[in-house]
Amino acid sequence: MAASSSASSSSALSRLSNIQNHLNPIDSLAKNLVKISPEVSEALSHGHAVVALESTIISHGMPYPQNFETAKEVEAIVRNNGAVPATIAILEGLPCVGLSTEELERLAKLGSKAQKTARRDIAHVVATRGNGATTVSATMFFASMVGIPVFVTGGIGGVHRHGEHTMDISSDLTELGRTPVAVVSAGIKSILDIPRTLEYLETHGVCVAAYKTNEFPAFFTETSGSKVPCRVDSPEDCARLIDVNMKLKLGSGIVIGVPIPREHAAFGRVIESAIQSALREAREKNITGNAETPFLLARVNELTGGLSLASNIALVKNNALIGAKISVALAQLRQQESN
**How distant, in Å, are the alpha carbons of 44, 137, 175, 183, 224 from that of 143?**
11, 10, 12, 11, 29
User: For 51-94, what is each residue's pLDDT tens digit?
Assistant: 999 999 999 888 899 999 999 999 999 999 999 999 999 999 99
The structural domains of the chain, with segments of one domain joined by +, span 33-148, 166-338
Q: Which CATH class is domain 166-338?
A: alpha beta
Q: Which one from 54, 75, 175, 222 is the annotated catalytic residue? A: 54
Phi, psi of 327 (to 5 degrees): -65, -40
User: For 193-218, what is each residue's pLDDT tens digit?
Assistant: 999 999 999 999 999 999 999 999 99
Active-site annotation holds for 284: no
Q: Do domains 33-148 and 166-338 have the same CATH topology?
A: yes
CATH tag, 33-148 = 3.40.1790.10
Q: Which one from 189, 222, 292, 325 is the annotated catalytic residue? A: 189
Residue 9: its pLDDT value, please?
A: 45
Angle between helices 194-203 and 171-178 (to 10 degrees): 30
Rounded to whole angstroms, how far apart are CA atoms 128 and 49?
A: 33
Rounded to whole angstroms, how far apart are CA atoms 93 and 313?
A: 28
Which of 49-58, 64-73, 224-233, 294-303 has the weakest average pLDDT?
A: 294-303
Active-site annotation holds for 189: yes
